Structure 1
Amino acid sequence: MNEPLQSLEQLLDRIGELSRSHERVSVAMVVESIGSRSFGPLLMLIGITLFSPLSGVPGMSLFMASFVLLVAVQMLIGKRHFWLPHYILDRSIERGKLQKVLDWLRKPAQGIDCVLKPRLSFLVHNGGSFGIAGLCVVIGLCMPFMELVPFSSSAAGLALLALGLALVVHDGLLVLLALVVFGSTLTFVVMNIL
Protein backbone atom coordinates (compact mmCIF):
# COMPACT_ATOMS: atom_id res chain seq x y z
CA MET A 1 0.00 0.00 0.00
CA ASN A 2 1.35 3.45 -0.87
CA GLU A 3 2.11 5.96 1.86
CA PRO A 4 -0.48 8.76 2.11
CA LEU A 5 0.41 11.85 0.11
CA GLN A 6 1.40 14.90 2.12
CA SER A 7 2.28 17.45 -0.57
CA LEU A 8 1.68 18.50 -4.14
CA GLU A 9 5.22 17.47 -5.11
CA GLN A 10 4.59 13.94 -3.85
CA LEU A 11 1.49 13.71 -6.06
CA LEU A 12 3.47 14.87 -9.10
CA ASP A 13 6.29 12.41 -8.27
CA ARG A 14 3.85 9.51 -8.04
CA ILE A 15 2.27 10.38 -11.39
CA GLY A 16 5.76 10.88 -12.84
CA GLU A 17 6.70 7.33 -11.82
CA LEU A 18 3.73 6.07 -13.82
CA SER A 19 4.70 8.11 -16.88
CA ARG A 20 8.24 6.70 -16.82
CA SER A 21 7.04 3.10 -16.82
CA HIS A 22 4.05 3.24 -19.21
CA GLU A 23 3.43 4.53 -22.75
CA ARG A 24 -0.01 5.86 -21.72
CA VAL A 25 -1.19 6.70 -18.21
CA SER A 26 -4.87 6.17 -17.41
CA VAL A 27 -6.98 7.64 -14.63
CA ALA A 28 -7.31 4.10 -13.22
CA MET A 29 -3.52 3.83 -12.91
CA VAL A 30 -3.31 7.17 -11.10
CA VAL A 31 -6.20 6.28 -8.76
CA GLU A 32 -4.52 2.98 -7.93
CA SER A 33 -1.23 4.72 -7.18
CA ILE A 34 -2.80 7.31 -4.83
CA GLY A 35 -5.24 4.88 -3.18
CA SER A 36 -9.02 4.55 -3.22
CA ARG A 37 -9.43 6.35 0.11
CA SER A 38 -7.69 9.52 -1.01
CA PHE A 39 -10.33 12.14 -1.67
CA GLY A 40 -7.84 15.00 -1.13
CA PRO A 41 -5.26 13.78 -3.68
CA LEU A 42 -8.04 13.02 -6.16
CA LEU A 43 -9.31 16.62 -5.88
CA MET A 44 -5.71 17.77 -6.29
CA LEU A 45 -5.43 15.69 -9.47
CA ILE A 46 -8.62 17.22 -10.88
CA GLY A 47 -7.46 20.71 -9.94
CA ILE A 48 -4.03 20.19 -11.54
CA THR A 49 -5.66 18.94 -14.73
CA LEU A 50 -7.94 21.97 -14.96
CA PHE A 51 -5.20 24.43 -14.02
CA SER A 52 -2.68 22.97 -16.49
CA PRO A 53 -2.55 23.41 -20.28
CA LEU A 54 -4.74 20.27 -20.51
CA SER A 55 -7.72 22.48 -19.64
CA GLY A 56 -7.59 23.76 -23.23
CA VAL A 57 -8.69 20.36 -24.56
CA PRO A 58 -12.30 20.71 -25.80
CA GLY A 59 -14.78 19.11 -23.40
CA MET A 60 -12.19 18.71 -20.62
CA SER A 61 -14.12 21.06 -18.33
CA LEU A 62 -17.35 19.08 -18.73
CA PHE A 63 -15.53 15.78 -18.22
CA MET A 64 -13.82 17.08 -15.09
CA ALA A 65 -17.13 18.49 -13.78
CA SER A 66 -18.62 14.99 -13.80
CA PHE A 67 -15.47 13.72 -12.07
CA VAL A 68 -15.76 16.44 -9.37
CA LEU A 69 -19.43 15.69 -8.76
CA LEU A 70 -18.80 11.95 -8.40
CA VAL A 71 -16.03 12.52 -5.87
CA ALA A 72 -17.82 15.27 -3.91
CA VAL A 73 -21.12 13.40 -3.60
CA GLN A 74 -19.28 10.35 -2.29
CA MET A 75 -17.52 12.57 0.27
CA LEU A 76 -20.88 14.03 1.33
CA ILE A 77 -22.47 10.64 1.94
CA GLY A 78 -19.44 9.55 3.97
CA LYS A 79 -18.01 6.80 1.75
CA ARG A 80 -14.62 5.57 2.88
CA HIS A 81 -13.56 4.39 -0.59
CA PHE A 82 -14.53 6.21 -3.75
CA TRP A 83 -15.97 4.59 -6.84
CA LEU A 84 -15.52 5.87 -10.39
CA PRO A 85 -17.15 4.55 -13.57
CA HIS A 86 -15.06 2.96 -16.30
CA TYR A 87 -15.60 5.86 -18.73
CA ILE A 88 -13.53 7.98 -16.33
CA LEU A 89 -11.04 5.30 -15.27
CA ASP A 90 -10.26 4.33 -18.89
CA ARG A 91 -9.32 7.86 -19.98
CA SER A 92 -5.59 8.13 -20.62
CA ILE A 93 -2.88 10.45 -21.85
CA GLU A 94 0.39 9.77 -23.69
CA ARG A 95 3.57 9.72 -21.68
CA GLY A 96 5.14 12.70 -23.53
CA LYS A 97 2.18 15.02 -23.02
CA LEU A 98 1.87 14.02 -19.38
CA GLN A 99 5.57 14.58 -18.76
CA LYS A 100 5.37 18.10 -20.27
CA VAL A 101 2.49 18.95 -17.92
CA LEU A 102 4.36 17.52 -14.92
CA ASP A 103 7.50 19.50 -15.81
CA TRP A 104 5.40 22.67 -16.21
CA LEU A 105 3.86 22.14 -12.74
CA ARG A 106 7.04 21.17 -10.88
CA LYS A 107 8.32 24.65 -9.95
CA PRO A 108 4.92 26.04 -8.81
CA ALA A 109 4.41 22.86 -6.75
CA GLN A 110 7.70 23.40 -4.93
CA GLY A 111 6.75 26.99 -4.09
CA ILE A 112 3.27 26.01 -2.90
CA ASP A 113 4.57 23.18 -0.72
CA CYS A 114 6.99 25.56 1.04
CA VAL A 115 4.17 27.68 2.51
CA LEU A 116 1.71 24.94 3.49
CA LYS A 117 1.30 23.82 7.09
CA PRO A 118 -1.52 22.66 9.37
CA ARG A 119 -3.62 25.67 10.49
CA LEU A 120 -7.31 26.51 10.91
CA SER A 121 -7.81 22.76 11.01
CA PHE A 122 -11.50 23.06 11.99
CA LEU A 123 -12.13 23.94 8.34
CA VAL A 124 -10.85 20.55 7.14
CA HIS A 125 -11.83 18.10 9.88
CA ASN A 126 -15.24 16.54 10.60
CA GLY A 127 -17.91 19.09 9.61
CA GLY A 128 -15.34 21.09 7.67
CA SER A 129 -14.76 18.23 5.25
CA PHE A 130 -18.51 18.15 4.53
CA GLY A 131 -18.33 21.87 3.79
CA ILE A 132 -15.47 21.20 1.37
CA ALA A 133 -17.51 18.46 -0.31
CA GLY A 134 -20.50 20.83 -0.60
CA LEU A 135 -18.32 23.52 -2.16
CA CYS A 136 -16.96 20.94 -4.62
CA VAL A 137 -20.52 20.05 -5.64
CA VAL A 138 -21.25 23.73 -6.33
CA ILE A 139 -18.02 24.07 -8.34
CA GLY A 140 -18.84 20.94 -10.33
CA LEU A 141 -22.34 22.21 -11.14
CA CYS A 142 -20.98 25.59 -12.26
CA MET A 143 -18.13 24.27 -14.42
CA PRO A 144 -20.18 23.63 -17.60
CA PHE A 145 -21.13 27.35 -17.60
CA MET A 146 -17.50 28.30 -17.10
CA GLU A 147 -16.69 26.88 -20.54
CA LEU A 148 -18.40 30.02 -21.91
CA VAL A 149 -15.77 32.34 -20.39
CA PRO A 150 -12.12 31.69 -21.33
CA PHE A 151 -9.80 30.59 -18.51
CA SER A 152 -12.54 30.48 -15.88
CA SER A 153 -12.31 26.69 -15.66
CA SER A 154 -8.61 27.12 -14.83
CA ALA A 155 -9.65 29.25 -11.85
CA ALA A 156 -12.10 26.52 -10.82
CA GLY A 157 -9.18 24.10 -11.09
CA LEU A 158 -7.13 26.32 -8.80
CA ALA A 159 -9.97 26.28 -6.25
CA LEU A 160 -10.24 22.48 -6.45
CA LEU A 161 -6.47 22.13 -6.14
CA ALA A 162 -6.56 24.31 -3.00
CA LEU A 163 -9.39 22.22 -1.52
CA GLY A 164 -7.56 18.96 -2.23
CA LEU A 165 -4.35 20.32 -0.72
CA ALA A 166 -6.31 21.54 2.30
CA LEU A 167 -7.52 17.98 2.92
CA VAL A 168 -4.02 16.54 2.50
CA VAL A 169 -2.00 18.99 4.63
CA HIS A 170 -4.87 20.10 6.95
CA ASP A 171 -4.43 23.75 6.03
CA GLY A 172 -7.76 25.53 6.49
CA LEU A 173 -6.33 28.72 5.03
CA LEU A 174 -6.47 26.97 1.65
CA VAL A 175 -10.23 26.48 2.08
CA LEU A 176 -10.63 30.24 2.51
CA LEU A 177 -8.40 30.83 -0.53
CA ALA A 178 -10.55 28.42 -2.57
CA LEU A 179 -13.70 30.28 -1.50
CA VAL A 180 -12.23 33.61 -2.60
CA VAL A 181 -10.96 32.24 -5.94
CA PHE A 182 -14.21 30.46 -6.77
CA GLY A 183 -16.41 33.36 -5.59
CA SER A 184 -14.44 35.84 -7.70
CA THR A 185 -14.50 33.53 -10.72
CA LEU A 186 -18.22 32.89 -10.44
CA THR A 187 -18.91 36.61 -10.18
CA PHE A 188 -16.75 37.22 -13.26
CA VAL A 189 -18.52 34.46 -15.22
CA VAL A 190 -22.01 35.71 -14.29
CA MET A 191 -21.09 39.30 -15.24
CA ASN A 192 -19.78 38.13 -18.64
CA ILE A 193 -22.75 35.91 -19.41
CA LEU A 194 -25.41 38.48 -18.51
Structure 2
Amino acid sequence: MPRELTSLHQLLEHIASSARDSERVSLDMVVQAVGLRSFAPLLLLVGLILFSPLSGIPGVPTAMALLVLLVTIQLLLGRKHFWLPQWILRRSISEQKLQRALQWLDKPALFVDRWLRPRLVFLVRRSGTFVIATICTVIALALPLMEVVPFSATIAGLALTAFGLALVAHDGLLAVVALAVTGFVFGLIAGALI
Protein backbone atom coordinates (compact mmCIF):
# COMPACT_ATOMS: atom_id res chain seq x y z
CA MET A 1 0.00 0.00 0.00
CA PRO A 2 1.62 3.30 -1.03
CA ARG A 3 1.98 6.11 1.49
CA GLU A 4 -0.69 8.80 1.38
CA LEU A 5 0.17 11.21 -1.41
CA THR A 6 -0.65 14.80 -0.47
CA SER A 7 0.96 16.77 -3.29
CA LEU A 8 1.42 16.60 -7.03
CA HIS A 9 5.22 16.56 -6.70
CA GLN A 10 5.02 13.57 -4.31
CA LEU A 11 2.84 11.69 -6.77
CA LEU A 12 5.26 12.33 -9.67
CA GLU A 13 8.27 11.29 -7.58
CA HIS A 14 6.49 8.14 -6.45
CA ILE A 15 5.62 7.16 -10.04
CA ALA A 16 9.17 7.93 -11.25
CA SER A 17 10.80 5.81 -8.55
CA SER A 18 8.34 2.94 -9.12
CA ALA A 19 9.12 2.92 -12.86
CA ARG A 20 12.92 3.00 -12.62
CA ASP A 21 14.89 0.06 -14.00
CA SER A 22 12.00 -1.14 -16.18
CA GLU A 23 12.41 -1.22 -19.94
CA ARG A 24 8.68 -0.69 -20.44
CA VAL A 25 6.22 0.70 -17.93
CA SER A 26 2.69 -0.64 -17.99
CA LEU A 27 -0.33 1.23 -16.76
CA ASP A 28 -0.67 -1.56 -14.19
CA MET A 29 2.74 -0.68 -12.70
CA VAL A 30 1.75 2.99 -12.41
CA VAL A 31 -1.69 2.22 -10.97
CA GLN A 32 -0.12 -0.12 -8.39
CA ALA A 33 2.24 2.72 -7.45
CA VAL A 34 -0.62 5.14 -6.73
CA GLY A 35 -2.99 2.52 -5.31
CA LEU A 36 -6.25 0.96 -6.42
CA ARG A 37 -8.16 2.14 -3.37
CA SER A 38 -8.09 5.87 -3.91
CA PHE A 39 -10.12 7.72 -6.50
CA ALA A 40 -8.16 10.99 -6.19
CA PRO A 41 -4.66 9.69 -7.13
CA LEU A 42 -6.10 7.62 -10.00
CA LEU A 43 -7.97 10.65 -11.33
CA LEU A 44 -4.85 12.77 -10.89
CA LEU A 45 -2.78 10.15 -12.72
CA VAL A 46 -5.14 10.14 -15.73
CA GLY A 47 -5.20 13.94 -15.77
CA LEU A 48 -1.41 14.11 -15.74
CA ILE A 49 -1.13 11.60 -18.58
CA LEU A 50 -3.55 13.64 -20.67
CA PHE A 51 -1.96 16.96 -19.75
CA SER A 52 1.54 15.70 -20.61
CA PRO A 53 2.95 15.17 -24.13
CA LEU A 54 1.73 11.55 -23.85
CA SER A 55 -1.76 12.76 -24.85
CA GLY A 56 -0.46 13.17 -28.40
CA ILE A 57 -0.03 9.42 -28.78
CA PRO A 58 -3.03 8.12 -30.79
CA GLY A 59 -5.43 6.13 -28.62
CA VAL A 60 -4.14 7.46 -25.29
CA PRO A 61 -7.11 9.83 -24.71
CA THR A 62 -9.58 7.01 -25.44
CA ALA A 63 -7.73 4.56 -23.16
CA MET A 64 -7.70 7.19 -20.41
CA ALA A 65 -11.43 7.79 -20.98
CA LEU A 66 -12.09 4.10 -20.35
CA LEU A 67 -9.98 4.22 -17.20
CA VAL A 68 -11.85 7.28 -15.87
CA LEU A 69 -15.23 5.71 -16.70
CA LEU A 70 -14.36 2.47 -14.95
CA VAL A 71 -13.18 4.26 -11.83
CA THR A 72 -15.94 6.91 -11.65
CA ILE A 73 -18.75 4.42 -12.22
CA GLN A 74 -17.37 2.14 -9.50
CA LEU A 75 -17.03 5.12 -7.17
CA LEU A 76 -20.61 6.18 -7.86
CA LEU A 77 -21.72 2.61 -7.12
CA GLY A 78 -19.94 2.77 -3.74
CA ARG A 79 -17.06 0.36 -4.37
CA LYS A 80 -14.02 0.77 -2.12
CA HIS A 81 -11.51 -1.11 -4.29
CA PHE A 82 -11.42 -0.42 -8.03
CA TRP A 83 -11.31 -3.21 -10.61
CA LEU A 84 -9.64 -2.52 -13.94
CA PRO A 85 -9.44 -4.91 -16.92
CA GLN A 86 -6.09 -6.43 -17.84
CA TRP A 87 -6.19 -5.20 -21.44
CA ILE A 88 -6.09 -1.60 -20.18
CA LEU A 89 -3.53 -2.35 -17.48
CA ARG A 90 -1.20 -4.03 -20.02
CA ARG A 91 -0.86 -0.85 -22.12
CA SER A 92 2.69 0.36 -21.77
CA ILE A 93 5.24 2.93 -22.87
CA SER A 94 9.01 3.01 -22.62
CA GLU A 95 10.44 3.98 -19.27
CA GLN A 96 12.40 6.72 -21.03
CA LYS A 97 9.22 8.35 -22.44
CA LEU A 98 7.54 8.18 -19.04
CA GLN A 99 10.52 9.74 -17.26
CA ARG A 100 10.67 12.54 -19.87
CA ALA A 101 6.96 13.26 -19.36
CA LEU A 102 7.41 13.27 -15.57
CA GLN A 103 10.38 15.64 -15.84
CA TRP A 104 8.30 17.93 -18.08
CA LEU A 105 5.62 18.03 -15.35
CA ASP A 106 8.01 18.49 -12.40
CA LYS A 107 8.43 22.29 -12.36
CA PRO A 108 4.71 23.00 -12.90
CA ALA A 109 3.98 20.50 -10.08
CA LEU A 110 6.23 22.36 -7.63
CA PHE A 111 4.56 25.65 -8.60
CA VAL A 112 1.04 24.22 -8.18
CA ASP A 113 1.85 22.58 -4.84
CA ARG A 114 2.70 25.99 -3.32
CA TRP A 115 -0.90 27.12 -3.88
CA LEU A 116 -2.71 24.01 -2.60
CA ARG A 117 -4.27 23.97 0.85
CA PRO A 118 -7.53 22.88 2.46
CA ARG A 119 -10.22 25.40 1.44
CA LEU A 120 -13.97 25.07 1.00
CA VAL A 121 -13.53 21.44 2.07
CA PHE A 122 -17.28 20.74 1.94
CA LEU A 123 -16.92 20.75 -1.88
CA VAL A 124 -14.50 17.80 -1.80
CA ARG A 125 -16.06 15.69 0.94
CA ARG A 126 -18.45 12.76 0.38
CA SER A 127 -21.24 14.40 -1.66
CA GLY A 128 -18.74 16.70 -3.37
CA THR A 129 -16.72 13.66 -4.44
CA PHE A 130 -19.83 12.20 -6.08
CA VAL A 131 -20.45 15.46 -7.96
CA ILE A 132 -16.81 15.49 -9.11
CA ALA A 133 -17.07 11.83 -10.18
CA THR A 134 -20.18 12.66 -12.22
CA ILE A 135 -18.45 15.59 -13.96
CA CYS A 136 -15.40 13.42 -14.66
CA THR A 137 -17.70 10.77 -16.17
CA VAL A 138 -19.02 13.39 -18.61
CA ILE A 139 -15.44 14.42 -19.48
CA ALA A 140 -14.51 10.77 -20.06
CA LEU A 141 -17.47 10.25 -22.38
CA ALA A 142 -16.25 13.21 -24.48
CA LEU A 143 -12.55 12.20 -24.56
CA PRO A 144 -12.72 9.95 -27.66
CA LEU A 145 -14.17 12.92 -29.58
CA MET A 146 -11.35 15.09 -28.25
CA GLU A 147 -8.83 13.02 -30.20
CA VAL A 148 -9.92 14.93 -33.32
CA VAL A 149 -10.13 18.40 -31.74
CA PRO A 150 -6.55 19.68 -31.32
CA PHE A 151 -5.43 20.26 -27.71
CA SER A 152 -8.86 19.55 -26.24
CA ALA A 153 -7.65 16.29 -24.61
CA THR A 154 -4.76 18.24 -23.06
CA ILE A 155 -7.17 20.81 -21.61
CA ALA A 156 -9.45 17.98 -20.41
CA GLY A 157 -6.35 16.53 -18.76
CA LEU A 158 -5.86 19.85 -16.99
CA ALA A 159 -9.46 19.68 -15.69
CA LEU A 160 -9.03 16.07 -14.50
CA THR A 161 -5.69 16.96 -12.89
CA ALA A 162 -7.32 19.88 -11.08
CA PHE A 163 -10.19 17.69 -9.84
CA GLY A 164 -7.70 15.04 -8.67
CA LEU A 165 -5.56 17.65 -6.92
CA ALA A 166 -8.62 19.20 -5.31
CA LEU A 167 -9.52 15.82 -3.82
CA VAL A 168 -5.94 15.00 -2.75
CA ALA A 169 -5.36 18.40 -1.10
CA HIS A 170 -8.98 18.89 0.11
CA ASP A 171 -9.02 22.16 -1.85
CA GLY A 172 -12.61 23.00 -2.82
CA LEU A 173 -11.52 26.24 -4.45
CA LEU A 174 -9.45 24.23 -6.92
CA ALA A 175 -12.54 22.09 -7.62
CA VAL A 176 -14.38 25.27 -8.61
CA VAL A 177 -11.48 26.21 -10.93
CA ALA A 178 -11.59 22.69 -12.41
CA LEU A 179 -15.30 23.13 -13.08
CA ALA A 180 -14.54 26.36 -14.98
CA VAL A 181 -11.85 24.57 -17.03
CA THR A 182 -14.37 21.83 -17.82
CA GLY A 183 -16.82 24.43 -19.10
CA PHE A 184 -14.05 25.88 -21.27
CA VAL A 185 -13.23 22.41 -22.70
CA PHE A 186 -16.83 21.78 -23.69
CA GLY A 187 -17.08 25.27 -25.17
CA LEU A 188 -13.95 24.56 -27.21
CA ILE A 189 -15.37 21.28 -28.50
CA ALA A 190 -18.72 22.88 -29.34
CA GLY A 191 -16.95 25.68 -31.20
CA ALA A 192 -14.83 23.21 -33.18
CA LEU A 193 -17.85 21.11 -34.18
CA ILE A 194 -20.10 24.01 -35.25
TM-score, normalised by the number of residues in structure 1: 0.97
- The share of aligned pairs that are identical, in percent, is 54
Deviation per residue, 1:120-155 (Å, 9 max, x gap)? 111110110100110011101111222221000101
> How much has 1:185 moved relative to structure 2?
1.3
Aligned equivalents of 2:189 and 2:90: distance in 1?
Answer: 31
Q: Describe the SS at the equivalent of 1:93.
A: strand
Specify the alignment match of 1:66 in structure 2.
Answer: 66
| 1:40-189 map, 5 Å | 40-189=40-189
Deviation per residue, 1:86-139 (Å, 9 max, x gap)? 011111111111111111010000000010000111111011010011001110
Unaligned runs of 5+ in 2: none
Specify the alignment match of 1:31 in structure 2.
Answer: 31
TM-score, normalised by the number of residues in structure 2: 0.97
Unaligned runs of 5+ in 1: none
Aligned equivalents of 1:25 and 1:189: distance in 2?
Answer: 32
Aligned partner of 1:177: which letter? V
Q: Describe the SS at the equivalent of 1:25.
A: strand
Aligned partner of 1:122: which letter? F
Runs of 4+ in 1 over 3 A off after TM superposition: none
> How much has 1:50 moved relative to structure 2?
0.4
Number of aligned residue pairs:
194
